[in-house]
Amino acid sequence: MSFARVRAFVVLGVLAVAAIVFVVVALVRDTQGGASADGGCPEGAPLATITLPDDTDEVKVRVLNGTKTSGLADRVSDDFKNRGFQVQPPKESRTKFSRIAIIQYGPKAVGNAQLIKAYFLGKARAEYSAKRTTDVIDIVIGDQYRQLATSTEVNQSLVELSEPKLPPGACLAPPPPKKKDEEAK
């Protein structure tokens, strides 16, 4: 056996021993031993539904008038009703503001709120509250509001907004059950 072959076997042997030592040390010092793939959910954390609704009839909205223009909440409520949303009776907001809209929602409506943002072309301010227990989304209309987006604009806006993000401190809720007519297909 030549000296070059002996030297190659020695180098390979040293590399193999070093690799084994490295793997053993990494396994012994692993600090993620109790971690799970889903990240775990702290007790008491709200469960957020982040899936986009299949249809607008799954989304509940309440429109509040944040302007001095009378009847604006009724008009916007009718616009949402004509687009197939479940609309709660409109109300007057205590606070008046000059922006387009404020979308207020809780953990049960994160995905639905993403759809509502698209109707304002992503320009409405979103306010998430982990303490909200309802799936109704409150929309406070402001002075800069002109009209809801068309269906084409909504689709383009949904692409720009991308998938809904899990709010801080919330855990992912299990997906809602499929409708019975979809299961039959």
Whether 26 is in a domain gets the answer no
For residue range 96-107, list pLDDT tens digits in order.
888 999 999 999
Whether 136 is in a domain gets the answer yes
Whether 39 is in a domain gets the answer no
Residue 92 to residue 67: CA distance in whole angstroms? 9
127 DSSP β-pair partners: 104
More confident residue, 182 or 22: 22
Closest to 71 measured CA to CA, from 94, 97, 90: 90
How many structural domains comprise the chain?
1
Residue 165 domain boundaries: 47-175
Whether 90 is in a domain gets the answer yes
Counting beta carbons within 10 angstroms of the beta carbon of residue 89, is it exposed (0 to 12), middle (13 to 18) or buried (19 or more)?
A: exposed
Whether 105 is in a domain gets the answer yes
For 143-155, what is the mean pLDDT? 94
Whether 160 is in a domain gets the answer yes
Residue 116 to residue 100: CA distance in whole angstroms? 13
Whether 3 is in a domain gets the answer no
Whether 69 is in a domain gets the answer yes
For residue range 51-77, list pLDDT tens digits in order.
999 899 999 999 999 999 999 999 999
